[in-house]
Amino acid sequence: MKIIKRNGEETVFDEEKIVNAIKKANKEVFDGDKLTEEEIQAIADTVTDKGRSMIRALNVEEIQDFVENEIMRLGKFALARKYITYRYSRALARKTNTTDDRILSLIECNNEEVKQENSNKNPTVNSVQRDYMAGEVSKDITTRILLPPDIVRAHEEGLIHFHDSDYFAQHMHNCDLVNLEDMLQNGTVISGTLIEKPHSFSTACNIATQIIAQVASNQYGGQSISLTHLAPFVQVSREKIRKGVEEELRLLGVENEEAAKEITEKRLREEVRKGVQMIQYQVVTLLTTNGQAPFVTVFMYLGEAREGREREDLAMIIEETLKQRIQGVKNEKGVWITPAFPKLIYVLEENNIHEDSQYWYLTKLAAKCTAKRMVPDYISEKMMLKYKIDKNGEGHCYTCMGCRSFLTPYVDENGKPKYYGRFNQGVVTINLPDVALSSGGDMDKFWEIFDERLELCHRALMCRHNRLKGTLSDAAPILWQYGALARLKKGEPIDKLLYGGYSTISLGYAGLYECVKYMTGKSHTDEEAKPFALAVMRHMNDKCKEWKAEHNIDFSIYGTPLESTTYKFAKALQKRFGIIEGVTDKNYITNSYHVHVSEKIDAFTKLKFESEFQSLSPGGAISYVEVPNMQNNIPAVLEVMKFIYDNIMYAELNTKSDYCQVCGYDGEIKIVKDKDGKLVWECPKCGNRDQSKMNVARRTCGYIGTQFWNQGRTQEIQDRVLHL
């Protein structure tokens, strides 16, 4: 049995420490209030049994809560007071150096919570540790100075989650759609150096990767770029190559139009290949200032390009992107594996979704890529045009920011739709199961508590907004002055971009399944429980409309991609309400509106069901289906893709892509329990459990993680059932 110390370090549980702590308090009370040796040992044994039954590592505070409860159960209230007083005085003493302890523990790689906080960060790397050190300082300042005490308390108790508090001290926003078109066509400035319009496709790709790195270092969320913005530079390279070919042929005394064209296109293909390879490898190998590869999504939408040559060139780029992703990247052993980034999104549209469509060959390639490398994910143009309608009544199709955060439709002062260059201000998530459990199952009380918690989220979101308000463009020139998001003047505040719908701010939610399960006794897939689930969703949307009218800020509902927070929320629920079957008996809670990972449901029923809830999450959501190895069944993948096109706006297929560096096994690496009950990853062929000697890729939050996960998320991965 393991416990988590206050500094985040995981260590073996020692029952004797409980015995010694009670004995110290025992000495401070009169004989009639003392416990016998047998009673002290009985308490220690009971606490140990409770800890083992929790199927996860408890933290020290939880152990001490158990001890207090057992002392009071025996009626030794004076002793309990002494124990509580001693505990409180120790807590006061620790307050002066808690941040120091946590920083020192993460530098020595002993902080188990931080080590598993982000599945795309390697906590042993200096740059990651430096980011975590800064994060600890930021969190300390945030909790002590920047946020109201009740919001801090609600966050710490798991009633809400104030996202990215490790970056809140700085004036940074969440995620965005990079206006790559503006930066490439009109030039930009990177690190004080003027970058003019590129004169070739390969140069455009190189500049794009530099922009991606710069943007990632000036925000804390995901970013998205469109391949459409690179497509015009294919023609620039074509013309440049053609001139060179014609000159070569002239020198050889040859005049052959067909030969010139053929050689040009062959060389152009090679440049496109190298340009795409540059983007893939630079994104994978770049380390931003927060110690990880840039969290970037690459958008592939044929309908975004002008018909004719530009669209054909975009198709060429998309084809090369998919081919290279199917191949993957090499690990340190030289074996091709699945990279986490860039995330790819492929739009399903009328000109690529049917067998007789012009670009059906790209869709087949996308299916093959998904079966092997888990990307691309899919947006249905058909469904998105229905959901994303602007004030002029026109529907639009565009990419999310990062993994799932979607902008709301927006029309600029010229009456034109605008998406690139916009951003999200931040997220605060409500713990829906806690609302339900706090109500005790009383429906009237549920709605009353729900409103109280939503107002708490409202105030927390306004803290996020006000932290950005007054920020000068100088804080991040690449974003605010040089085209990524705007071209403001030096010294100009970004305030005008925070209002009127230009940017969004997100009310996240998690655990709809557990919330409904507790209040109705049924899964939200049950026809009797579904109306309540939909009512919860509509109520959050109504609140966002109220806040938008009050502040002129675009509040929107966001299906939170919980990663480490799923474990945090689960632990908080267990601490407050104990173990309740089907509600708090897991070390995770369900992401957003998703069907519970263990619920048996087929892929098509799941996607159809979740589509209703996705439409009620305008600020962002993604659905998925869990599938086995589909590399030899591409027709089935294509059938799922066709179903996505007709039924749901945004979805993905989850498969497995692992490799054991010890024995060369390239099947699914399994999750097993070690002797202490901890979930660990094990190669089924050779038994290797060394995470540094295996490559495991799993999608956990809309994007792929490759640096492993905390115990809550690991259990969730283990519990997943196949939908196909």
Q: What is the C-alpha to C-alpha distance for residues 584 and 632, in angstroms, rounded to an integer?
A: 39
Annotated catalytic residue: which of 702, 703, 705, 712? Answer: 702
Count Cβ neighbours within 10 Å for each residue of 596-634 and write b for 16 or more, e otherwise.
bbebebebbebbebbbebbebbbbbbbbbbbbeebeeee
Q: What is the C-alpha to C-alpha distance for residues 313 and 398, in angstroms, rounded to an integer?
A: 19
* Residue 512: how many other CB atoms lie within 10 Å: 26
H helix count then E strand count, the chain: 24, 23
- Give residues with Cβ within 8 angstroms of 535, minimum separation 6: none
User: Would residue 405 show up in a list of annotated catalytic residues for this protein?
Assistant: yes
Q: What is the C-alpha to C-alpha distance for residues 711 and 59, in angstroms, rounded to an integer?
A: 13
* Residue 205 · residue 279 · CB < 8 Å: yes
The helix, strand and coil proportions of the chain, stated in percent and rounded to the nearest 5, come to: 50, 15, 35
Nearest-CA neighbor of 172 among 118, 218, 224?
218
Annotated catalytic residue: which of 563, 610, 682, 716? Answer: 563
Annotated catalytic residue: which of 7, 59, 290, 405? Answer: 405
* Residue 643: how many other CB atoms lie within 10 Å: 17
Q: What is the C-alpha to C-alpha distance for residues 479 and 172, in angstroms, rounded to an integer?
A: 11
Q: What is the C-alpha to C-alpha distance for residues 138 and 132, in angstroms, rounded to an integer?
A: 10
Annotated catalytic residue: which of 316, 384, 397, 403? Answer: 403
* Residue 161 · residue 428 · CB < 8 Å: yes
Annotated catalytic residue: which of 26, 119, 165, 174? Answer: 174
Nearest-CA neighbor of 35 among 88, 76, 86?
76
Token pair for 647? 């039924």
User: Would residue 482 show up in a list of annotated catalytic residues for this protein?
Assistant: no
Token pair for 348? 């399903």
- DSSP per-residue string spanning 306-322: PTTHHHHHHHHHHHHHH
What phi, psi does 429 have (nearest 5°)? Answer: -110, 135
Q: What is the C-alpha to C-alpha distance for residues 585 and 589, in angstroms, rounded to an integer?
A: 9
Nearest-CA neighbor of 55 among 682, 563, 570, 517?
570
Q: How far is CA 702 from the centre of its chain?
A: 6
DSSP state of 522: S
Q: Which neighbouring-strand residues pair with 111?
A: 9
Annotated catalytic residue: which of 118, 179, 237, 424? Answer: 424
Burial class of residue 322 in the structure, from the number of CB atoms within 10 Å of its CB (0-12 exposed, 13-18 middle, 19+ buried): buried
E runs forming strands in 562-706: 623-626, 650-654, 657-660, 670-673, 679-682, 694-699, 704-705
Q: What is the 3-state secondary structure (H, E, C) of 183-229?
A: HHHHCEEECCEEECCCCCHHHHHHHHHHHHHHHHCCCCCCEEEEHHH
Tell me which H or E stretch contains 61.
Answer: helix 60-73
Torsion of CA 340, 593, 596, 635, to 10 degrees: -60
Q: How far is CA 709 from the centre of its chain?
A: 13
User: Would residue 702 show up in a list of annotated catalytic residues for this protein?
Assistant: yes
Pairing of β 694-699 and β 657-660: antiparallel
- Give residues with Cβ within 8 angstroms of 550, minimum separation 6: none
Annotated catalytic residue: which of 558, 567, 593, 650? Answer: 558
User: Would residue 558 show up in a list of annotated catalytic residues for this protein?
Assistant: yes
User: Would residue 424 show up in a list of annotated catalytic residues for this protein?
Assistant: yes
Annotated catalytic residue: which of 172, 300, 316, 401? Answer: 401
Pairing of β 377-380 and β 343-348: parallel
- Give residues with Cβ within 8 angstroms of 554, minimum separation 6: 408, 501, 502, 503, 504, 505, 548
Annotated catalytic residue: which of 9, 10, 175, 650? Answer: 175
Q: List Cβ<8 Å contacts ≥24 apart for 90-97.
A: 94/6
DSSP state of 704: E
Question: Which residues are catalytic, by number?
Answer: 174-175, 401, 403, 405, 424, 558, 563, 702
